[in-house]
Structure formats: structure tokens, C-alpha cells
Amino acid sequence: MSELRRHVYANTVDRSAIKKLVKRAFPRCECKKLHEQLENANRHKDNELLDLDEACNDALDSNLEAELQAVELQHQKDVDARVQELRDNKVNTGETERFDSALKLCTDPSENSNFAKSNSLDSVKRSVESESVNESPTDAQTVCVDFKSDSIEHADRQQDQRSTQENSHRVCGGHEIAMVTDSIVQELDLREESIATLLCYLELHPRRWVEVLQPVKSTCTIKFYGGYPQLRAVAQRIPPIAAAISLNNTTATGFKKSSTLTFPVVELADKMGWDLAPVCRELRALQWNTSLALDNSLSNMGQSGILVEFSDLSMHHRAPGDLSDSERDSVCDFLEDRIQAEERSQLQQLQFVYDSLKSVSCSEFWQCADAVDEDADKQLKQLVRSYFEDSNDKTKEELAALAKARKGAKSIPSSITRDDHVNWDIVARDIRALLGVHHDHSFTGRAVARIFHGIDSPCYPAEVWGRDRRFWRKHLDVEFNSLRKFATQELIRFR
């Protein structure tokens, strides 16, 4: 049993490792700061706008009469123009009529038509004037109403913007982050698949902390056969190269000597707000861009004298960088609970399988060698079915129990605690011997427990550590978590 349990413990990690992972997966970004600056600037602008609004309103109040007068005047002018037009027409018609009448030579001496027409013209003018008097205040009112509704709309829009800003308190839109697989595996002493699993847990969380992306090679190295002059010439024409140079901290003098450029391409693309794939494509294309070649012989061969290499396979994901400390803690809690629940439910399932098989097995082979035991067969089938049906619920149950325990700040005892027989003095002696032999290593309690259980891990591979039979698998009989806690205490005492 302890032999099989080893495999379950291999996937569990310390909280310190989880913290390291969270720190690496959610690097802090400047978005919040920038957003605050932007908001301050906006607020400043808004205030100015509001001031302007008020000034306008005041001006409108004080100048309302003037406005009315101006509107009236405008109408008066319009009316006058219309009247003039009409009058001109009338005069024209009048003249022709007069001409006609002159031709007729006083056939009708009482020519009142002209006078009558001018009278009617006056009445038209008067009616138009009365209209204009009626119209002018309503016009001013509509102008006023329009202005007010405009300012109300403006205020509404501002409020909307503010509320949406408050609702989506996550300012950061997320950054693409690449963690170099080898280095993170060594740093966390956790296998790649376990880290990938943890990232998937974060992705499946209701708040979807991260978005896992395809693994990429995150380091780009560009070699210029033409040396520094070519590097400079290319940087002036190709934006990613220029950005990479500005990202590199090396001073200009140090740079002059070098003809190679190495930079984290994912970080660069994220910083510049570019998509990763086109940037990589453009960088790769530099190799065949003959216009960049300094040497003619190279350009004739279709090469540019630039060598582009991508290295360091990395885990790639998108995550926000503006998590508050409490959010970071809750992410750590979530991962820790998840891992613990997984370990506990797996141990229970292992125990369940063991007990089940034991319950249907016979103590001697001859007891079941002759005939098939139908009852045991049915029972076993039933057990296997229930095992697979319950497997998900077990983890959920454990998760709920752990969440409850966390709220009450209690710890749940291990499901297997049979340490009565353990001689802790011998364990303590072995720990001290281990520390004495490998004094150049900084062990953790978990690492020591793993060595004593013979559990392979990236920092303590079985090929290397398994050779030392003095410690490897020495205390397989001691429950792993008790051994881990004891080793941690011993390590503290030893320092």
C-alpha cells in the first residue's frame, strides 16, 4: 500500500511552491497605475467640461433676452426680406399693369387695384410679423431645451461610464505570459504536467483566472553576420528589433560590440501590444529579407546574413496582472485546497480498491482455483462500478470539507495515521545524516520526505538520488505527511 501511495504524494506541493507559481503566473503589471493616471486626467477634463457647462448656462440665463432679441431680429430680417420680395413682385406686376392701363388710355379712370393690392400686402406683412412674434419665444425655448437635454445626456453618459468602470473593477485586460518550462519546473520542484494541471484548475475556476495558450518558444536570438552596423541598420527599419533593443537593458557602449540580440519575444509582443504570431513570423522572415543584407554575395544567395533562432520552450498563458493581495491569497487557497482534496480523495480511493479486492479475495490460491466464485464476481463488478461513479463526488466532498475547515481555521487529520510504531529517533538521525552528506543542498521538509519515500521529483531525480541506498526509500513505512512535518521541524532545529 505504501508503495502505491507514493505516486499520490508525488503530485502534492507545498504552499510555498503554490505561492511561487502564483507569483510567476500573475506578474504584477502597471495597468492599474496607468488607469488611475488616465482616470485622474479624465476627471480633470470632465471638471473643466462641467465648468464650461455651468458657464454656458449662466451665459444663457443672462443673455436669454439678448438671444430672444437676436432671434426676433433674425425673424424680422427674414420677414422683411420676404416682404421685399413680395413687394418687388407686386411692383413688377403693378408696373406692367400700369403699362397696360396706360396703353388702355384711361379706359378705367378709377385705378384702385394697385392701391388695394398694396393694402393687401400690408396685411400680409402684418400677419407675418404677428407670426414671427408668436414664433420667436418658442424658438428660443427649443434652443434652450435642446441645450439642457444635451448637457443631461452628457452627464448620463459620464455616469454610465463610471458605473461600468466600477462594475468591471478588473482594469487589466490580461497579459500574455510565458514561463520557461525547465526553469519553472526546477524552481517549483514540480513536474511539467503537474504545473499544467494547476494552470488548468485556474482556467476552470468560475472566475477564470487564466487562459491557457499553446506552448511557445519564448526566447529569440538574432545573430547579425554584418555585426553592429547591420544590427543598427535593421533596427531602423524593423520595429520589433527596435523594440527589442529598447527592452534590453544593456548600455549603448556594451551594445556596440555585440552582433547578437537576445530577448523574450512574448514579453516584447505583450509590452508593445502586438500579437505574438505575426511578430514571430516577421522575425523569422528577416533571414530571407535580402534587402537587409550588407554583403552582396549573401543577398545573391537569397539570404540576409541574419540568423533567427527561437529557444526555451515555455508554458504560455494569459493572465491579469492587477490582482490584489487578497485575490492572490484566494488563488493560493483555491489551488492548495484543490491539491489537498485531490490527494485525500486519491488516497481514499486507493484504500477503497485495496479493501474491495481484499474482501473478495481468498487467503490461499487453492480456495478459488477450481470453480468460479459467482458471488465474488458480482460483488467485485459492483465495487468497480461504484468506484468509477463516485470518483468525482469524492473530490467534491473533500473540497467542501477543506473549505469548511479553512473557514474555521482548522486542519483536517489525515485519513491514514498509524504512526504508533514509528521510531522517530531513527528518522531524526537519518535526516541529520542526509543533511550532513548533502550540506550543499537546501532541503525542504517535503524534499526530505520524498527522498525517504523514494518519490522522484525534478530537483531530486531518482537516477541521481536513487543510487544512494542509505536514504532512498528508507522510511517508506512512515506516513508521508507526518514524515514531512517531522522533517520540517528537524530542518528548523538543525539550522
CA atoms of 79 and 10, how far apart (whole Å): 95
Residue 321 sits in the site that holds Zn ion (CB under 5 A): yes
Q: Is 309 helix (H, G, I), strand (E, B) or coil?
A: strand
Tell me how far apart the alpha carbons of residues 177 and 26 are, in angstroms, rounded to a whole number.
Answer: 8
In angstroms, the CA 39 to CA 51 distance is: 18
What Rg value do the Cα atoms of the chain yield, rounded?
A: 43
Nearer to Zn ion, 36 or 377 (CB): 36
Question: Please, what is the minimum distance in Å from the beta carbon of residue 33 to Zn ion?
Answer: 10
Q: Does 261 bind Zn ion (CB under 5 A)?
A: no
Is residue 360 part of the contact set for Zn ion (CB under 5 A)?
no
Q: How many angstroms separate the CA atoms of 194 and 5, rounded?
A: 17
Cβ proximity to Zn ion: between 27 and 229 the closer is 27
Residue number, 264 or 305, with CB nearest to Zn ion = 264
- Determine the Cα–Cα distance for residues 346 and 392; give it in Å rounded to an integer: 11
Residue 472 backbone dihedrals phi, psi, to 5 degrees: -60, 125
Which set of grid coordinates corresponds to residue 387?
A: 468506484
| DSSP for 281-304, written as a single string | HHHHHGGG-GGG-SSHHHHHTT--
Taking the least distance from each CB to Zn ion, the nearer of 9 and 26 is 26
Interface stretch with Zn ion, choices 18-26, 80-88, 316-324, 439-447 (CB under 5 A): 316-324
> Of the two residues 173 and 461, which places its CB atom closer to Zn ion in the complex?
173
> Binding segment for Zn ion among 21-29, 78-86, 211-219, 286-294 (CB under 5 A)?
21-29
If one asks whether residue 25 binds Zn ion (CB under 5 A), the answer comes out as no
Residues 152-211 that bind Zn ion (CB under 5 A): 172
The whole-angstrom distance between residue 490's C-alpha and the CA centroid of its chain comes to 42
Please identify, among the stretches 26-34, 85-93, 103-111, 357-365, the one whose residues bind Zn ion according to the rule CB under 5 A: 26-34
Query: Please, which residue, 15 or 207, has the CB nearer to Zn ion?
Result: 207
Measured from the CB atom, the residue of 206 and 273 that comes closer to Zn ion is 273
273 vs 413 by CB, closer to Zn ion? 273
31 binds Zn ion (CB under 5 A): yes
Query: Could you tell me the smallest distance in angstroms from the CB atom of residue 402 to Zn ion?
Result: 31
Dist. CA 420–CA 482, nearest whole Å? 11
Closest CA to 456 of 7, 21, 2: 7
The cell 463488478 sits on which residue? 381
Locate all alpha helices (DSSP H) within 12-112, ordered by sequence.
15-25, 31-62, 64-104
Candidate list 18, 21, 25, 29; residue touching Zn ion; CB under 5 A: 29
From the CB of 267, what's the least distance to Zn ion, in Å? 13
Q: State the nearest-atom distance from the C-beta of 31 to Zn ion, in Å.
A: 3
| Total chain residues near Zn ion (CB under 5 A) | 4
Q: Select from 114-122, 314-322, 362-370, 392-400 the region that touches Zn ion (CB under 5 A).
A: 314-322
- 108-137 residues near Zn ion, rule: CB under 5 A: none
- The 3-state secondary structure of 91-114 reads HHHHHHHHHHHHHHCCCCCCCCHH
Binding site for Zn ion (CB under 5 A): 29, 31, 172, 321
